[in-house]
Each structure stands twice: as C-alpha cells, then as structure tokens.
Structure 1
Amino acid sequence: MSDSKSKSKTIVVFGATGNVGSALINALVKNNTATSTVFSIVAFVRDPNAGSAKRLSALPGVRIVHVQTYMDEPARAFEVAGLGEGDVYGVFSNQGYVDPKVEEAQGKAIVDAAAALGCSHFVYNSVDMGRSSPPGPAFTSKYNVEEHRKSISTSGSGAGLGWTIIRPSQFMDNLLPSSAFMFKLTRTMLLRRTFYTHPERKHQMVSTRDIGRVSARAFEKPEEFKSRTICLSGDEFTMPELEAIYKEEMGEPIKETFATLVSIVKLLVPFLRQMAEAQDQEGFSADIPSLRKEFPELEDLRAFLRRYRAERGL
C-alpha cells in the first residue's frame, strides 16, 4: 500500500451534484494535490447519467454511487456504497428544496447514520438565521437538524462525531442568467417583493464556490473548525447597489420575470414568503470583515461576476 493511499480519508457527500456539493468536491480534489492528506470522495447521486454526475466522476479520487433514495434512507446508502463502521472520516450534508418536514427528517437521518458509522467530522450546510434562531418557520427545519447534531454529541453513538455548521446567506449564483427559472422567480422576489419596510437594509450574498471552499477547510483542519457555527457571506449591498454592480459587470440588468407572477407565488408558497419577510425584518448576520481575515479568498459580487464572465469567455 502506498503512503498516500494509507493516509487517505473517505468523505461522503450528500447533495453532490448541486452547486454547493460540487463546489466542495472540486475544492477537496484541488487541495488533494497540495496537502499531505488525500481525501477519497464518495458522491451520492440520483442519476449517474446526468451531466453534473459525469463531470464529478471524471475527477480524480471521486467515486459516484447511484442511490435513488439516498436522502430518505441514508443508512441504506452507506451500505450500497460498501461503507461500514470505521470506513467514513467525514460526511457533508446539503439538502435540496423539499418540504420542510421532509427536509428535517432527512437531515436528522443523515446525522444518525453518520454517527452510527463512527464518522469523525460532520459538516452541515444550513442557512444564516439572522439575529434570532430561527426567525421564522422557513428556517425551523434546518435549525432542528442543527440542534439534533449538537444533542447527540454526548450520546454513545455520537460522542466522537465532531461537527461544523455552515450558515450561508443567499447564493450569488442565483443571480446568473444561466440559473434555473425558479431562481428568476426568487431574484425578482428579492428585488421587487422583499424590502418593503427596510429598503435601506444591506442584503448579504455568498458564492457557492466559497461555501465549498470553507467546507473543505473544515474537513482539512477539523480541530480549528470543531463545534463552530459559521455565518458565511462575501458581500452586502442594498437592492439599488446590487442592480448597479450587476449592470456594470454584466452589461445588462438582472434578468427578472413578471412581478405579478412573483406576487402570486409569494402568496401561495409559505416558504418563500417567510424567507422574504425574514430578510426584510432581520436580514443576514455574517461579520464580513472578520470573515475576510480568516478567509481572504472570499469573493465579493464583482469578483464573482468577473469570474463567471471569464469562465464563459464573455
């Protein structure tokens, strides 16, 4: 067995093909070449034939595991991957957009499955809770998963499971013209249907690449990140400032959809309504100057948009 192989540590990624999961995997792969510890990455995917899954499978040290219901049955997913007690160093949990009750059940089940395997470090991608925890029902499911992770830290199965909670603000990626239609809805809601009572409030945002890079650091330096909750953001601005920066860098306004449609969606979808109200009334709470001292590579919005244009030759 080679020396690098003997030092390898397995990290399992739930939500691997999403922007955040992919960013984490790319950061770990990049850092594998620069650190003495090599991570073997197991990425759970629903569709191994999807372009996002194929891109991950082409990366060195990444193994794609097809588990159709891995979020609902995480213990079974570990079995399908051939991972048993003592095989898993780290678990990263990032859940998609599902019903809050489903999200809470999935999140807690992933924590329990990781603890049962004797995982050393668990990183949970949550959401910035603002100035109170949680500020509204839209945040409750993630908050309850956070508390579940903390509550088992003294139990028999979870005593050795170190943890880091990343609480990002809204994603800069959602502003991009290449993002899905649902994000055209959410950014229109942000710009036109959110800051009614506090138009002066500065809204915080972060790039998913930075979420991945900070999460990777938590696995690489677990003692520095153990038992930490990190509110993560790279920039802040009012809505007029956001629109001005975007137009200066992209040469066009942020692409929106019909405001009337957004008003209807906001009325009918409690989660989106609650998120908008929380952002208006409380806002996100990251201490960006302090974050930049620890993570000087954090992108502000201009840097993020310039990278996007450069990567696409625009």
Structure 2
Amino acid sequence: MTARKILVVGATGQQGRATIAALHSSHTSASPLQIIALTRSATAPRAQSLQSSYQNVELLEGDVKDPGPIFQAHPDITSVFLVTAAVAAESRVDHVVFSSVDRGGNDLSWDTPTDVPHFAAKHEIELLLRQSCEEAQREIHWTILRPTGFMDNFGPTFFGSFMATLWAQGMPADRKMQLVSTHDIGVFAAKALLDPERWAGQAVGLAGDDLSFSELQQVFERTVGKPLPTTYQVLARPALWWIAEVRTSFEWFSNCGYGVNIASLREEEPGLQTFEVWLRDSSSWGQHTAA
C-alpha cells in the first residue's frame, strides 16, 4: 500500500513534534504514513532527534514563506499541518490543518481578533485559509485547531518559573485560565490529518483544564510534591507594565478569556489531559512527581 504523505511545518517546535508523535503512533503496515518534517536546518540537534526517534520521518529543509520548492520536491503531499502561514493556494494538498488560538469560544473566535497582536495575526490567517480554500479551483479542505494556554509553559525551567510569576502578578487570584497540553494538540492534529472528511470545515477549541493560579499551585504541589516554582516579582512586573503584548494578553485573560467546552471535547477524546495528568505523564516534572 502506498504511504500517505503528510507535511508537518514547524516540525521541531512543541506542536509539530507532538503532531509527529501522534501520527507515528497511528503508522502501521496496513495504513502506512510518510511524514515530511519541514525544518530550517536538517542538521540541527532537534531535527536529528526527530529523525532518530521516528523511522517514518523524512527531514526537509525549507521555508514556508517560499512553498514552491517544498511541493516540487514532494508533489504527492496530501495533507499539511502548520502553525504559521496558510499555504493552501500555493500547494497541491487537499487538506490543511492550521493551529490557531481560541479567542473566547468557537463561535466568538470567528469574529474576534482581540487586541492581542499574536491572536489577531492568527485570526487573519484563519480567514485567509478559509477564503483561499473556498476560492481554489479544486477542492481543498481546512481544519482549524484553537488551543488555549499551554501547560508546557510551566516546565522545570526559568521560563516556567517566569510564566508562573506572570500569571500570579497579572491576573486576579480567582480568575481561571484554560490550559491544554501540546501532547493533546498533537492528538487532535493527527485525528484531523488522518480523517480529513470527518474534520473538514471544523474549527475546534482545545483545552483540558480550567484553573485559577491558586488551583494550579495546589495541583502542582499535590502531584510533584513541592511548591510551584516562581521567580522574583521584580522580573515579572516590568514585563506586565512595559511589554505591550504581555500587558495586552493578561488584560484579555483577566477580562475575556478562553471559552472552550472542555466536557464536550473530552467526549471526543477521553484521554484529554488535565494539568495533573500532564505533570505526571507528559511533562519533564514526571520523574519528580509524588508517589
């Protein structure tokens, strides 16, 4: 049987790697897959790690802003997963899965770019992708995934401590934030890529938990066995005051926020990770979790 060929753009990033892992778990001799991992440097350690971890992955150097050479090298690519620019119009694929961001629920997200620049850019790409698919001379399907905040931002690094401190300083104590693991983004990306007809024309918000900062701390300490690391407030406060995108983001989190129906999503994927499950099973904290 001829292997289906799927292009993963941003393959060495968190979402790209999670998507490749989920696709790889579905690869069998009865339903073979060939995964083309687009990277800026095939010799970079992260790229080499992908190739050594997954036998059905082929590294391809390229730039999504110049898609021509990519599809000339692999004209039989059928599906694409991407987190940045839409490429449907320039390619021969029949299904594009785009990872965007939730902006208050699936219905509200279509008409709400928000004042957060990163969110607004994702909104613009969503509209461009949908329009380009509708105007194409052939049938091209689209699926949009809309993740919420990443659980993976709270790993055992300085960045994780900094993000925790930003949350503590930037939002009311009782204000909840929805979170999703990149593992689950990969799971849903693979679902869409492997079953285009079912997922065509759908925009799906992704979240596995909904926590206030105090609840985040409680879950972390119960699971890992020590307090959630934070850093000096003097480092977080200037970012909230002076970095426009950080300030605007936390104003939006405080006043509007994500709006995913987690219960409905869990019916689709019972293995959807809560923050506790992510800490134990998928995070770098796993080896430190309490017995």
Q: Does 1:163 align with 2:156?
A: no
Task: Check conservation: 2:67, 2:90, Cα contact below 8 A.
Answer: no
Distance 1:78 1:188 in 2: 44
CA distance in 2, matches of 1:187, 1:16: 27
Distance 1:149 1:212, change over 3 A: same
Partner of 2:48: 54
Instruction: Name the counterpart of 2:185.
Output: 211
Residue matched to 1:100: none
SS at match of 1:283: coil
SS in 1 for 2:26: helix
Query: Aligned partners of 1:272, 1:310: CA distance in 2, in Å?
Result: 26
The C-alpha deviation readout for 1:4-49, integer Å capped at 9, x for no partner, is xx2x11111111001110000011011113x843221111112323
Tell me the TM-score normalised to structure 2 length.
0.90
Q: Does 1:176 align with 2:155?
A: yes
Any conservation in 2 of the 1:201–1:283 contact (CA below 8 Å)? Answer: no
Deviation at 1:50, TM superposition (A): 2.8
Q: Does 1:293 align with 2:267?
A: yes
Mark the CA change 1:310 to 1:143 in structure 2 (over 3 Å): closer, same or farther.
Answer: closer
For each residue in 1:210-237, what CA deviation from the matched residue of structure 2 results, as whole angstroms up to 9, or x when unmatched?
Answer: 0001110001111111111111000111
Report whether the alignment pairs 1:13 with 2:14.
no
Identity of aligned residues (%): 29
Instruction: Tell me what 2:67 maps to.
Output: 74
Amino acid at match of 1:90: S
CA shift, 1:73, in A, is 2.1
- Over residues 136-171 of structure 1, what are the superposed CA-to-partner deviations in whole Å (9 max), with x where a residue is unaligned? 2321100000000111222134x4110111000111
Contact 1:169-1:233 at 8 Å conserved across structures:
yes
Distance 1:148 1:229, change over 3 A: same
Q: How does the TM-score come out when normalised to structure 1?
A: 0.83
Counterpart secondary structure, 1:144: helix
In the alignment, the residues of structure 2 paired with residue 83 and residue 173 of structure 1 have an alpha-carbon distance, to the nearest angstrom, of: 32
What is the Cα deviation at residue 124 of structure 1? 0.5
Residues 313, 38 of structure 1: alpha-carbon distance in 2 compared, 3 angstrom cutoff: farther
CA separation in 2, counterparts of 1:54 and 1:311?
Answer: 24
Are 1:151 and 2:131 an aligned pair? yes
2:68–2:91 Cα contact (<8 Å) kept: no
Find the counterpart in structure 2 of residue 45 from structure 1. Answer: 39
The alpha-carbon deviation at position 310 of structure 1 amounts to 8.0
Aligned to 2:18: 23
Distance of 1:10 and 1:115 partners within structure 2: 18
5+ residue gaps, structure 1, are 96-106
* Per-residue Cα deviation, 1:101-121 (whole angstroms, up to 9, x for no partner): xxxxxx1xxx23x33322111
- Cα distance in structure 1, aligned partners of 2:250 and 2:35: 36
Quote the residue 2:74 is aligned against. Answer: 83
Task: Provide the C-alpha distance between the structure 1 equivalents of 2:219 and 2:240, rounded to a whole number of angstroms.
Answer: 26
Tell me which residue corresponds to 1:103.
none
Q: Distance in 2 between matches of 1:11 and 1:265?
A: 39
- Alignment partner, residue 134 of structure 1: 113
Instruction: Give 5+ residue unaligned stretches, structure 2.
Output: none
Rounded to whole Å, the distance in 1 between the matches of 2:136 and 2:43 is 39
Counterparts of 1:268 and 1:295, CA distance in 2: 40
Q: 1:313 to 1:277 in 2, by over 3 A?
A: closer
CA distance in 2, matches of 1:184, 1:309: 14
Provide, for residues 226-280 of structure 1, a one-character-per-residue CA deviation record: whole Å limited to 9, x for no partner.
Answer: 1111110001111111111111111222222222221212233222222111111
SS at match of 2:231: coil
Aligned twin of 2:167: 190
Q: How well do the aligned residues superpose, as a CA RMSD in angstroms?
A: 1.9
1:92 to 81, 98, 110: 81
Aligned structure 1 segments of 4 or more residues deviating by more than 6 angstroms: none
